[in-house]
Structure 1
């Protein structure tokens, strides 16, 4: 698999991008490991080789995945896609639909809106990954500049959750912005589509998953990621992925993370 990453000029706060090109003789199935962002997969291949599961139905084409596991297949002899990782703060602004993408996979048109085909056509017509990154960045920047953002308090809480690796108590974060716990919970759920507790769980898991992929033992990962003990880590990984820490440590999606997302904030 060939991986392309954007230069500094195409980078936006809360947005990570990578381009993937794969040439295979048989379909390849990749299980996407959850991480604290909304994933957009734009199929830029001429033959439409990207296949995804939506509500148990296999469909072709570009799609958006929430904050829980999804499955991505690349079929045929080749496939190209542009992947965007949007923080929920950015996703709530740039997507047309409700930001409640937690645990869902939807066709891109359902969340990007009627401009989806134009977006795909422009990206396919581009002659290089750098051009594709620039096009995507310009479109995202335009939406960020022309649409109302989430509450600054909600954005602050999200940043604190990610940078603390999910280890700050909700009461403490609510006090930092002068909100009650109930108000924080309500605003986060309505604007980001995720509760503070769930956000903390995903941030903590994301840190643990990358430690596992780096070869650390489950006991070490549990201690460094804020879990009570190794059984607690095992239960959490099982709840989030339906798998075990050992299986997560060898997930193919994680194996290319450091290549595809060199600037992605490691929570």
Structure 2
């Protein structure tokens, strides 16, 4: 989790870089408006599927504060249920997934005076949702963890062989639970590590070699496909710089984002569902 606030300094057209997670944005003060590639506009609290990366078109005139939660597909499937299978690259209002509880979440967050209380309360809410959920297929959850551990540089047929499944069966089960095929999940995970290595100042050739890309041109094609930018220009994206401040397991870099970060909550030692 990370907490964000802005006082009117965020530039228009700020891009959201695709990420291999289901991202929940809980707005509890002011307003955020997001527009997807089709021109559909969403305001308030919402959920972004893995790989979503469009432009942040508008914020409230005065200010906003929000709490952002990144959930692995395993955790998201527990929190939101089967609807996760429909979230790939999608943007969905939170009330579509949670009903009237969405407004209650925002109201409760606004009642707290500090980020520590907000993080703890949402952590408890997530824990309750996970405790009440049907377990994700252990084989599919295992495949996701292997993809993450290998930073996306894994061969899907090898995962299927280790499970004793056919490639087609793994593909079908993974897609039905997480909404994206395992190969795309691996590409997203690999891209995420690669693009943050570029932001850290590593040369593209080294990033390509360390990330399991065939060559530098392969890395270039992936970055362009996910962001519309080149490896040389993507490093200046504010939301990549803010990652290293907001998410504590990344190293800090010198670029200062145009978002005022106000808090964070990380826990790498989560339960077996990866919450």
Query: Which consecutive unaligned segments of at least 5 residues does structure 1 have?
Result: 1-16
How many Å separate the matches in 1 of 2:110 and 2:124? 16
> What does 1:105-144 align with in structure 2 at a 5 Å threshold?
105-144=91-130
Residue 52 of structure 1 corresponds to 34
TM-score using structure 1 length: 0.87
Structure 1 counterpart of 2:224: 238
**Counterparts in 2 of 1:163 and 1:25: CA distance versus 1, 3 Å:** closer
Residue 70 of structure 1: how far off its partner (Å): 3.0
- Contact 2:81/2:133 (<8 A) preserved: no
Secondary structure (helix, strand or coil) at the match of 2:193 reads helix
Query: What 5-or-longer segments of structure 2 have no aligned partner?
Result: 251-267, 269-275
**Residue number in structure 2 paired with 1:84:** 69
Counterpart of 2:2? 18
Deviation string, structure 1 residues 123-150 (Cα, Å, up to 9, x no partner): 1111111111111111110010011021
User: Could you say what secondary structure the match of 2:61 adopts?
Assistant: coil
Corresponding residue SS for 1:49: strand
Q: Quote the RMSD (CA, aligned, Å).
A: 1.7
Q: Aligned to 1:147, what secondary structure does the other structure show? A: coil
Query: Is the 8 Å Cα contact of residues 70 and 105 (structure 1) preserved in structure 2?
Result: no
Secondary structure of residue in 2 paired with 1:76: strand
Look up the match of 1:248.
234
List structure 1 runs of 4+ shifted beyond 3 angstroms.
25-29
Q: Which has the higher contact order (CA 8 A, sep 6+)?
A: 2
CA distance in 2, matches of 1:173, 1:26: 42
Aligned pairs, number: 247
Question: Matched residues in 2 for 1:30 and 1:153: separation?
Answer: 38
Give TM-score scaled by structure 2 length: 0.85
CA contact (8 A) 2:199 2:241 kept: yes
- Tell me what 1:71 maps to: 55
